[in-house]
Structure 1
């Protein structure tokens, strides 16, 4: 009888617990990583250009970050720190789970910014259903609040000039000037995003704030600095291809290719192979660093947000210079004057040469990640394994940025000045973001050392 009594008490206790207060929604950084990865997969599918991809990353991250700061004693709001951003609405319902609301708001904005929404929803639908089962009231309140924040960020986002740039004139090719950029094979695509410099910056005073040092003056005279840089591209290409595709330089070039649209011709058939953008590669590195550091959700969102801000302003800075310099690519000049059969190891992207986009955004992202996690933090970069490329190991974020920049020379698509000056340009952008945007209320990581 005594054991029956205990069993009855246990059953009553379990029933009371089940009917009582429900548990909080289960949220963790892995859900955030998975969501961002689905956004990346969607952008690969939809073929977003590198500058536009940076916009797709930054606004959802900012929305999530702003929500999480409401419960954080480590991170402060970006309102008043980013151009025209005002404070998000304050939560009123005590049932709101801010972690869940941050992920939902990220999801909402991401779906607004891509074409194929179903790829993102294939992950979030199951996640949100599981939350609704755990605590329907909390999920409903969090979802409603996330929509309020989504609307707030959407209104701010709508004034960044993106819509206006969709209707601005296309790039005009100047064929009468031998120094000016011309479309390159095999698809001869027109210059993409010639008006990106008119996008509203987030932290920079203007697109031209960190205008790089001018490239060597165009000249085809053999003793000129420009001609020497042109010949370096050709000679490096000839040297590293002697041993086939297994040379370390070619492997580096392929690892950092990150060309979202590579045209492939087979007889009369032309098709595209799709890959991640340069910004997506660095968002992947941010994820690796965050996982290695065992970040909490707010720590992870902070890292992604600041990295994406660096990428976004970095692309605006770079594209401002690209269409100001309007410099011809090595492939065009080598085919015209040196070797008409020559092809670069990487396919030349469809926009002017100077400065190197990889160099600028890698310098910016590496500088921000170094501020967050520290210098000389080694990591294994497996971002490109899904595209059949092996893992590469780096001793620091800056070392990865330097290799990313140099890969453009090995790939045969940039001159030395675009690489070196572009890296400086990007680091200047990154350092300005580190000094200007104070996301942490405590002391910056590198001020502790």
Structure 2
């Protein structure tokens, strides 16, 4: 808010040279140089910037309400603003025809509205401080518009003098500050008074907790191990429960561990059936013949203990020898050869699967292309011709390579 009192505007000095420039503004695209100092800095900047790139008259730039621009243009093009042939000014009795109201919007903005009801024009003035282009401190034209109906001040409001406008603004600010203080106080924490004289009130306050329902939510059991009791029996039970809980992790097979003890144990206990022809009944003579005749083969029978051929142990030995009959590699070279054969067979199987997948993909691709060709209007003969042409081109490329 300005410290020094703001003087009222001299409407005759400010607006008298402005009125004759309104009719040319409804035709010309460039603003009048003599009118620009009379505008407020914001309106002056608006006119300078927008008029330089516009192809329309600059009168519309003086009014912010676009709905009032047609009426303002009609007034400018009428004969009411024609200057007097002798004085060269528009005849206006500024003391009688001009009505003025004031209002303060904030601490830095003081506005005034000058209404010329006989002309249908209204000038919204604003007090500017430090306006060097406009000649220093003083009132400037902030907007040119038309008067409201039925009262020219129905939207603007305001009061008849500047002092009253300042007083109303101060009262509004005081009410706003009081409202904020009251709101902050209402949101503050209220603590009951603990004095002896308010003992009954305190009893009533704490007695409210007795009115709550007797039922309480059920206690939820925590997933963590229970807390350890103080007694030795409780300590022993808790330790046992914890040991049993964590012992469960010892029986879990990790997902990334290829070694499974359960599978290894099952493989040891499984009885391996020998190949056909090797699982024959073993006698004393056949064991010796096998040992003599098959020592040079790729696969041999497990050696039998010759000293265990007594008749007294024939029953137990027959079962033990039957369990020992299994094929085993005669040397490391034969074992490596078997692994190589297995790898070759696996590689051949994968290659067959890959070839089958490629063939299926090619077949589906050709069917999809055929359906696309039919949808595009290409018949089957034309489609076959295209396929054969591409195959011939591929043959030429292969021959070239």
Output the TM-score relative to the length of structure 2: 0.18
Larger strand proportion of the pair: 2
Larger helix proportion of the pair: 1
Output the TM-score relative to the length of structure 1: 0.17
**Greater radius of gyration (CA):** 2
Which structure is higher in RCO with an 8 Å CA cutoff and minimum separation 6?
Answer: 1
